[in-house]
Chain A
Amino acid sequence: MTDGGRAATKVGDPGKSAEKPSPPRSRKESFRSSPRYRTFVKYRFVTGFLIIPFGLYAVFVISPFVQTFYYSFTDWTGFSSDFNMVGFENYSRLLDDETFWAAVRNNLVLALAVPFVTLSLGLFFAFMLTVGGRHKRGEAVSGVRGAKTYKIVYFFPQALSIAVIAALWGYIFKPDVGLLDPVLPGALSPNGGWLADSSFALWAVMIVMCWAMVGFFVVLFSAAIGQIPKEIYESALLDGASRAVTFFRITLPLIRDTVQTGWVYMGIMALGAESFAVVNIITQGPGGPEDSTMVLGVYLWQTGFAQAQAGRGAAMGVALFILTMILAIAALSVGRRRDRIEY
């Protein structure tokens, strides 16, 4: 078909080739043999393949996202179809809302402390498992013995649902069946367990989140460290560098991008889905006691539904979005190097 088109262009006038290629063909066929047909087919194909994925994405992801911004300026209850635009009233009311600020504070603590602990542990383990081994068999770089097994076990929590993890730890923190109460000294085991005490409950949430995520970062950082050429480690070894020096001068700078990406990812989880699930399942209320574990996700859900204030809930959604963006931009720009190291 394309051959016919090209032949026609060669013999006839290039401008008219699409109009009348060869006399016996019908008008439809002349279009099929024109170069524009290829473009048409391409666009037909592209549209056909994109329409379902993009349609679903637009309806269930983009549109709720855009609506969140819109409804945050309304007094919509969520259950009637009429509402008024109220400007920034939802936002100004949030500023006086103590529970909202408790949620923001807890979210910030989670988004800073949890990634810090999780990534540090993940980096340490990944380093040990990938290049921390003794230099046997003439290899400059190898993991400790049993590295593979460690990696599989460390990753266990990541394979489980956060709901299963939260429930499991919820039992561990319970005073009657839990593992902690019998072994902790009195000062560290309040009546009713950690989850019933406002000064311990957030710690419990943080422990669960760290436990759930360390394995992922061990695997992620191991993959990143594995891509660093071994010659670099070999030359460091020849220069007599210790393991600590190797880690801080070679490994960490070279996988910096992965660490930053990991930080952003963990921060998003700590602000959003992960903290939502853990707090929702194991804490009293949820969000209690006394808002000590309240996070934005849980509070916006409670406001939007239980209190039938969808507009205010949407304003909290926007606040959550802004927090996420600030965190992501901060994590990606802090100490960003201009010169990339290529290897």
Chain B
Amino acid sequence: MTTAEPTDRADAPAKRGAEGDSSRSPLLEPRKRIEGAVLNVFSHGFLVLWTVLAAGPLVWALMNALKDSGDILANPWALPGSIDWANWSNAWSRARIGRYAANSLVIVAVSVPLTMLFGSMAAYVLARFDFKGARIVYFTFVGGMAFPVVMALVPLFFVMKNLSLLDTRHGLIMVYIAYSMPFTIFFMTTFFRTLPSSVSEAAEIDGASHTRIFFQVMLPMAKPGLISVGIFNFLGHWNQYVLPFALNHNEDDYVLTQGIGLLFAQAGYRSDYGRLFAGLVMAALPILVVYIIFQRQVQAGLTAGAVK
């Protein structure tokens, strides 16, 4: 047995397939080819159409961010004639997109790591320990995934007010963490259950405490899961609109999504459209870059819950 043999075998089916494409099942071929051609034109057309629809508005925003307001009003479809970077500095400083982005960043930098820590602590306990009420606690957490946040906004506002957490950063962070628990725990519980128990048993025999086993053995082993759900939570917190809208009213502390809402509301009477589009692009681009870099993990995190 040499290493050449398996490679040969792996090559064989591919070769056979390439040659045999037309000779294989000759009875089926003609009909399939006609049907295939019609369907291909139709469905490829549709796929391309949706690509244009999905990316088009973003490209349009980018185009307009480079035009001055007069050009935008003259013809919204036209390509930018000369590039006008003033919009960008205007959006950054006068529309305060820079400030709002910084606010978002500060909040997310704290809320996401803490969500991951608390979420995986709870998930670990629920996945690996048998105790009274474990199932009830688990379903209380996971049931929150079906919970419409909007319905409880009014009482939530007053809970925050009574705890003096309204319009504060740490208050918003706590709420973000709380509302991320259901999915994080759901995801991480499933993940911890799939990890082999032999390693943690070995650590236990060596005399490691439960806490130590969690932080030094289980958490490092759960890294792929943590990355998926961490990126998911990052996108969720960065893009959150409803919670800051209800709980964060100080205009200096607005997060980016609120800033975009404000920018849009002002569009009516200030009509400095170039600045608005520049603001939009500045809000959209970084997150698109993050997504493109991590798209595999993002997609894994998003689909893990619903596909068994």
A interface residue numbers (CB < 8 A to B): 41-43, 45-46, 48-50, 52-54, 56-57, 59-65, 67-68, 71, 78, 121, 124-125, 128-129, 132, 134-139, 144, 150-164, 166-172, 174, 176-179, 182-183, 211, 214-216, 219-220, 223-224, 227, 238, 240, 242-243, 258, 261-262, 264-265, 268, 271-273, 276-277, 280-282, 296-297, 300-301, 304-305, 310, 313-314, 317-318, 320-321, 324, 328
Contacts and interface: CB of A to CB of B under 8 A. Distances in A.
Given A161-B241, A215-B54, A50 B122 contact: yes
B288 A63 contact: no
Given A42-B131, A179-B77, A262 B178 contact: no
A300 B153 contact: yes
Contacts of A172: 57, 60
A258 B306 contact: yes
B158 A78 contact: yes
A interface SS class: helix
Nearest to A264: B146
Nearest to B205: A2
Contacts of B147: 61, 65
Interface of B: 13-14, 16-18, 20-21, 24-25, 28, 31-32, 35-36, 39-40, 43-44, 46-47, 50-51, 53-55, 57-58, 60-61, 64, 72-73, 75-77, 118-119, 121-122, 124-125, 129, 131, 137, 140-141, 144, 146-159, 163, 174-175, 177-179, 181, 185, 210-211, 214, 235, 238-242, 245-246, 256-258, 260-261, 263-265, 267, 271, 273, 276-277, 280, 283-284, 287-288, 290-292, 295, 298-299, 302-303, 306-308
A252 to B, nearest CB: 15
Contacts of B239: 160-164
A242 B35 contact: yes
Contacts of A64: 152-153, 155-156, 159
Contacts of B64: 177
Contacts of A52: 118, 121
B158 A65 contact: no
Contacts of B60: 172, 179
